[in-house]
Amino acid sequence: MEQDATSAKWKKVFSLPVIVAALGYFVDIYDLVLFSIVRVPSLKSLGLQGQELINQGVFLLNMQMVGMLVGGIIWGVLGDRKGRLKIMFGSIFLYSIANLANGMVSSLPAYAALRFIAGIGLAGELGAGITLVSEVLHKSVRGYGTMIVASIGVSGAILANAVAASFDWRNAFFIGGVLGLLLLILRISVAESGMFRDMEKKEVSKGNFLALFTDRKRFGRYLDSILIGIPTWFVVGILITFSPEFAKALKVTGPVSAGNAVMYCYLGLVFGDFASGALSQLLKSRKKVILLFLILTGIGVVWYFLASGVTPAAFYGICTFLGFASGYWAIFVTVAAEQFGTNLRATVATTVPNFVRGMVVPITLSFQWARGQLGLERGAVAVGCVCMLIALVSLYRLEETFHKDLDYFEEYL
C-alpha cells in the first residue's frame, strides 16, 4: 500500500500539469532573453549606433521589466480569483501576439510599447506554473516538480540563441509567437488545481494584493521572498546582457557576443536549477540550498572580474558558472509559493519573480550611475555587492518551508 502511494506521487511529478508548466516557462524564457540576444542587431536596424546601443538597450529592457511588474500584479490576483489555468492561457496568448507584432516594428517607440505589452504577458507563466505544480504534488516530491519546470524552462534561452543565430531578429520574434500559440493547444487538457477548486466553494477572500501590505509580518515575508532573488538578475541583467562591453574592458582576447553569453549562462542555469532542486530534496531544506548558491554566485562574480586577458572560450566558461550559481531560481519561487496560503499563493508566486525581474530597473539605473562615478567594472562590483548583502539578510529572516503543508488559507481582514 505504501509502495503504491509512493509510486503515485512520482507519477504526478511527470504528469501533464508539470510538463505543460515547464513548456510554458520554456517559451517564457525564450522571449524574455531574446531581446538581450538581438539587442544590438535590432537597434542597429532601426538606425541606432554607438553609446545609444547601451542607453536605448537599457530603456527597452526596463520597459519590458516594468510590463512584468504590472503583469505580475494583474495575473497574480486573477490567478487566485479565477484560477491558475486561466492566467496560464491569458498570459501566453498576450505575449505570443506581442512577439508576432514585435517582428514588424519600425520605430523605437513601437518597439518600447511592444516590449511593455510582452512583459505583461510574460509575467503570468512562471508564477501560475509553480503554483499549480506546488498544489498538485505531495510535499515530499513538489521540489522535484518545480525543479523540472525550471530546468526545462530556462533551456528556452538556448533555443533563443540558436534561432537568433540562424534567423533575422524579426523572424526570431515571429518564431517565439508561433511557439506560444502552439502551446495553447496542449493546455486544453490540463486540469485545475484541486486546492483552488476546493477554495472556490468557500467564503474566503481571494487574491487580495493589498493584504500583503496591511500586516507587518506578512509584508516582511513577502519582501524577503522578493529580495533573495535579486542577485540572479544582477548577473543576467548586468553581467550577461552587457558582456560584450565588459569583455572589452577586461581585454578578452577576442570578440564576445551577448547571444553566446546568454546561451552559456542559461546552459549553466539548466544544471543549476536541476542541482538546487535535487539538493533541496536530499537536504530537506530550501534555505541551506539558497545560501550555498548565493555563495557560489559571489565566487562567480569575483571570477568574472578577475578574468582579464582571458580567451572568449574561458569567458563563456565563467558565464556558464555564473548561470549555474544563479540556478536557485526554482527553489526561490517555490519558497515564495510555500510562504503563503492558497487564497494568496498565486498572487505571491506570480508577483514575486516579476518583482525580482522588475528589480532590473533599479539595478540597471544604479549601474548607470555607479558606472559614471566609479567606472564600468568598479561600478558593477559595487552594485553586485549591495545585491548580495540584501539577499543574504532576507534569506536569514525567512522561515524554512520544506515540510510545510500548503492546504490552508491566509487569514486577513
Grid cell digits, residue 297: 554566485
Residues 366 and 238: their CA atoms lie apart, in Å, by: 11
Grid cell digits, residue 26: 520554456
Question: Does residue 15 come out as left (phi exceeding 0), alpha (psi in the -120 to 50 range) or beta?
Answer: beta
Record the pTM.
Answer: 0.78
pLDDT, the chain, mean:
84
Residues 361 and 265: their CA atoms lie apart, in Å, by: 20
Lowest mean pLDDT among 204-208, 359-363, 401-405: 204-208
Grid cell digits, residue 222: 513577502
Q: In angstroms, what CA-CA distances link 31 with 84, 92, 314, 399?
A: 21, 11, 27, 33
pLDDT of residue 142: 76
pLDDT, mean of residues 209-217: 85
More confident residue, 255 or 139: 255
Instruction: Quick: pLDDT tens for 336-378.
Output: 888 887 788 888 888 888 888 778 778 888 988 988 888 888 8
**With bands split at pLDDT 50, 70 and 90, how would you rate the model's confidence at 117?**
very high
Grid cell digits, residue 44: 542597429
Longest CA span, the chain:
68
Domains of the chain: 15-187+214-397 (1.20.1250.20)
Grid cell digits, residue 124: 503570468
Question: Does residue 285 come out as left (phi exceeding 0), alpha (psi in the -120 to 50 range) or beta?
Answer: beta
Please answer whether residues 95 and 26 qualify as being in contact, where contact means their C-beta atoms are separated by less than 8 angstroms: no
Lowest mean pLDDT among 138-152, 205-219, 399-413: 399-413
Instruction: Quick: pLDDT tens for 121-175.
Output: 888 887 777 777 877 777 777 778 878 887 788 788 788 888 988 999 999 999 9
Neighbours of 13 (CB within 10 A): 18
Please name which of 406, 363, 391 lies closest in space to residue 223, comparing C-alpha atoms.
Answer: 391
SS3 sequence of 319-360: HHHHHHHCCCHHHHHHHHHHCCCHHHHHHHHHHHHHHHHHCH
pLDDT, mean of residues 64-84: 83
In 204-243 the beta strands, taken as DSSP E runs, fall at none
Give the percent of the chain with pLDDT over 70.
Answer: 91
Q: Residue 214: is its pLDDT beyond 70?
A: yes
pLDDT of residue 390: 95
**With bands split at pLDDT 50, 70 and 90, how would you rate the model's confidence at 227?**
very high
pLDDT of residue 191: 61
More confident residue, 65 or 188: 65
More confident residue, 173 or 207: 173
pLDDT of residue 60: 86
pLDDT, mean of residues 253-270: 85
Residues 276 and 356: their CA atoms lie apart, in Å, by: 19
pLDDT, mean of residues 93-121: 91
pLDDT of residue 413: 45
Place of cell 529592457: 61
C-alpha torsion 320→326→328→330, nearest 10 = -80
**With bands split at pLDDT 50, 70 and 90, how would you rate the model's confidence at 4?**
low
